Amino acid sequence: MTISSTSFNDRLTRIEKISAKNKGRVVLHVGDREMNVRADSAMLRGAIAEPRTKRRLLAFIPALGTGVAGFVLASVLREHFMTPQIAEAIGTHADLALFGAALLVAFVIGLFFKLLSTKLVMLQALGVVIAMAGLHNLAFWQPALASSVFSEAWVQQKVAETEPRTLTYAGAVIHF
């Protein structure tokens, strides 16, 4: 048996000094040795997060795509199933209602692709806005496809109201 020459307070001071240096890590004292220990949950978080960041680097492309697809689907549903009663209830907020419906559809599509983070939902909203501003170009570039997907009246309205190769929203026009 060995007799310690240090007092309890000296040992306690030494341990406190070491723990202040290690900040958040656990120091395990086994006999004379000290070992740094990490919790399993910390190691698991690191292991889970590592491949996810690499895999999600290009997730912005499907997020924008689901936003555009959500707007197209919401527009198609509006063209084919909008009744005068619904149009009267919406009133002057048709663009806002279409944006909300498109965002909801994009979010539901995003659930299937596991696009659930806040950043990806924001990118879905950006995709909806881009589609709102640029979908009218389909009436110029592919009128037959646009009339079969939407309606002939939609194509005629977009050709009469807008110019080709533009992004148009709320009176602002950007040519490209």
Same domain, 67 and 120: yes
User: Cβ neighbours of residue 141 under 8 Å, at least 6 residues apart?
Assistant: 164
Distance (Å, whole) CA 54 – CA 74: 32
Q: Is residue 7 part of a domain?
A: no
Amino acid, single-letter form, for residue 92: T
pLDDT at residue 152 in the model: 92
pLDDT at residue 21 in the model: 66
Structural domain for 146, as ranges: 136-176
* Residue numbers of the chain with a pLDDT score lower than 50: none
pLDDT at residue 126 in the model: 95
Same domain, 63 and 127: yes
Q: Is residue 52 part of a domain?
A: no
34 has which bridge partners?
A: 29
Same domain, 107 and 64: yes
Mind listing the pLDDT tens digit for each residue in 77-107? 988 888 888 888 888 888 899 999 999 999 9
pLDDT at residue 89 in the model: 85
With vertex at residue 69, the alpha carbon angle to CA 66 and CA 74, rounded to the nearest 5 degrees, is 120
Q: Is residue 92 part of a domain?
A: yes
Same domain, 102 and 126: yes
pLDDT at residue 115 in the model: 84
Same domain, 69 and 95: yes
Structure tokens, 81: 């199933």
Number of Cβ within a 10 Å radius of residue 61: 10
pLDDT at residue 55 in the model: 60
Number of domains observed in the structure of the chain = 2
Same domain, 97 and 153: no
Structure tokens, 170: 């709320």
Helices (H), 29-136: 40-55, 60-81, 84-90, 94-112, 118-134
Q: Is residue 112 part of a domain?
A: yes
Q: Is residue 50 part of a domain?
A: no
Same domain, 119 and 173: no
Residue 58: DSSP 8-state? G
Same domain, 94 and 80: yes
Same domain, 106 and 148: no
Same domain, 105 and 160: no
Same domain, 126 and 172: no
